[in-house]
Amino acid sequence: MGEPAARLDSRTGDGAARRAPGWGSDADRRLRTVLGHFPTGVVVVTAVDADGQPAGMTAGTFTSVSLDPPLVAFLAARPSSSYRRIRTSGSFCINVLSADQEPVCRTFAAPGNEKFTGIGWQPAGSGSPLLDGVVAWIDCDIETIHEAGDHDIVIGRVRELDVASGELPLLFFRGGYGQFAHASLTAPAQPDLLEPLRAVDRIRAEMEQLAAELEVECLAVAAVDDQLVVVGSAGTQDEIVHHIRIGQRMPFIAPLAASLVAWAARSTVDAWLARVPGSDVDRAAFERLLVLVRERGWSLALASAELLALEASVANQSIGITESELDDARTAVMDIGADTHEPADDIDAALEYRVANLSAPVFGSSGAAVLQLSLYGLPMPVSGADLVRYRDALLAAARRASQALAKAGNH
């Protein structure tokens, strides 16, 4: 590595004394340009000033600081008049702007004291304004303020916070506004997920194309020991029509994820069956289910009340699911009968179906099913004719995904 192109002097103070020798307007521009390549969310920091008037300023420097105690921070330019009013109030509310709140962002970035005209808000617990339409808010008391160059680092202790809407957040990048396009997401890396995550990375394009073409959500599910993990998702939905989240874990247990088991070694099948609690389990019915899935090449889980209840209860559990939560989920799976889970007959174009998910296996180069692709969010009910269309597109995508894995040498 050579010399850094621009070196900052760490001394604080006024004017030229802050700058390293040779630091000029070119270096200032470079600083802004390079730092602008780091994308940020956008918040409006609000407070009620000593005269009882609301104050607010746009900030891109909001960050979480500590979980215990719960601390967050933002950085404020000391000359800002809004900041001075926020500072003296002793508390502030962070308002996380949604993608359609660009006008709100501009209003609160302009200098002046009249920023609240036409803006709907209500007081948070501290009295600071909680703006209408935000994605989330965090109400804080000022804990400490640290001087850093021409800015103050303002640390707040969280009093109360909440997610206010399911909207996507506003983003700021290279001087422009944008929004988070989650064409696809992958689960946070954990040691046991490295292989499945590598596989998801290789089939992302197929998942995104399929989700866009069918306008449904496509999940990639992997079996990791005795658990199923949602390792990838593509396609977004305006409303939450089901409860499965990225990173979610569930018990790997009959009749769930039959397409990950139908082609597996006998030991995997036996373990899948053995995990079902209770002695009076109709294991033969689950075995018939596997034969059916293997013959068809796909699996159709009907939206029984029992399956939906299981998904809802799993969604309320922690992402890292504890042993006792797993036990509860295993017990809930017992209520799902093999026969009501998957129809034995082929799809009838003249019928209507209530479908929880439609799934197909993605094979690695060793011939084992390494991921299950599942379509979620199908119309409820869906016509048999449409279901055939969904199934055929899913099978074609799963085939392409298997080829991509084989080519990459993914087992």
Ligand X SMILES: Cc1cc2nc3c(=O)[nH]c(=O)nc-3n(C[C@H](O)[C@H](O)[C@H](O)COP(=O)(O)O)c2cc1C
Contacts to ligand X by CB under 6 A: 42, 57-61, 74-77, 80-83, 108-109, 111-112, 172
Name the residue nearer to ligand X (CB basis): 60 or 235.
Answer: 60
The minimum distance between CB 164 and ligand X, in angstroms, equals: 20
The minimum distance between CB 138 and ligand X, in angstroms, equals: 15
Name the residue nearer to ligand X (CB basis): 90 or 188.
Answer: 90
Name the residue nearer to ligand X (CB basis): 72 or 401.
Answer: 72
Please write down the HEC assignment for all residues of the chain. CCCCCCCCCCCCCCHHHHCCCCCCHHHHHHHHHHHCCCCEECEEEEEECCCCCEEEEEECCCEEEECCCCEEEEEEECCCHHHHHHHHHCEEEEEECECCCHHHHHHHHCCCCCCCCCCCEEECCCCCEEECCCCEEEEEEEEEEEEECCEEEEEEEEEEEEECCCCCEEEEECCEEEECCCCEEECCCCHHHHHHHHHHHHHHHHHHHHHHHHCCEEEEEEEECCEEEEEEEECCCCCCCCCCCCCCEEECCCCCCHHHHCCCCHHHHHHHHHCCCCCCCCHHHHHHHHHHHHHHCCEEEECCHHHHHHHHHHHCCCCCCCHHHHHHHHHHHCCCCHHHHCCCCCCCCCCEECEEEEEEEEECCCCCEEEEEEEECCCCCEEHHHHHHHHHHHHHHHHHHHHHHHHHCCC
Name the residue nearer to ligand X (CB basis): 87 or 330.
Answer: 87
Name the residue nearer to ligand X (CB basis): 179 or 331.
Answer: 179
Name the residue nearer to ligand X (CB basis): 82 or 359.
Answer: 82
The minimum distance between CB 31 and ligand X, in angstroms, equals: 15
The minimum distance between CB 110 and ligand X, in angstroms, equals: 6
The minimum distance between CB 57 and ligand X, in angstroms, equals: 4
The answer to whether 234 and 210 are in contact (CB under 8 A) is: yes
The minimum distance between CB 169 and ligand X, in angstroms, equals: 12
Determine how β-strand 71-77 pairs with β-strand 63-66.
Answer: antiparallel
The minimum distance between CB 238 and ligand X, in angstroms, equals: 26
* Interacting residues of 280 by C-beta distance below 8 A, sequence separation 6+: none
The answer to whether 317 and 227 are in contact (CB under 8 A) is: no
Name the residue nearer to ligand X (CB basis): 59 or 155.
Answer: 59
The minimum distance between CB 129 and ligand X, in angstroms, equals: 14
Name the residue nearer to ligand X (CB basis): 60 or 129.
Answer: 60
* Interacting residues of 28 by C-beta distance below 8 A, sequence separation 6+: none
The answer to whether 45 and 24 are in contact (CB under 8 A) is: no
The minimum distance between CB 60 and ligand X, in angstroms, equals: 3
Name the residue nearer to ligand X (CB basis): 46 or 357.
Answer: 46
Tokens of 348: 């009838």
Name the residue nearer to ligand X (CB basis): 83 or 252.
Answer: 83
Provide DSSP, 349-374: TTSEE-EEEEEEEEE-TTSSEEEEEE
Name the residue nearer to ligand X (CB basis): 57 or 220.
Answer: 57
The minimum distance between CB 121 and ligand X, in angstroms, equals: 16
3-state secondary structure of 138: strand
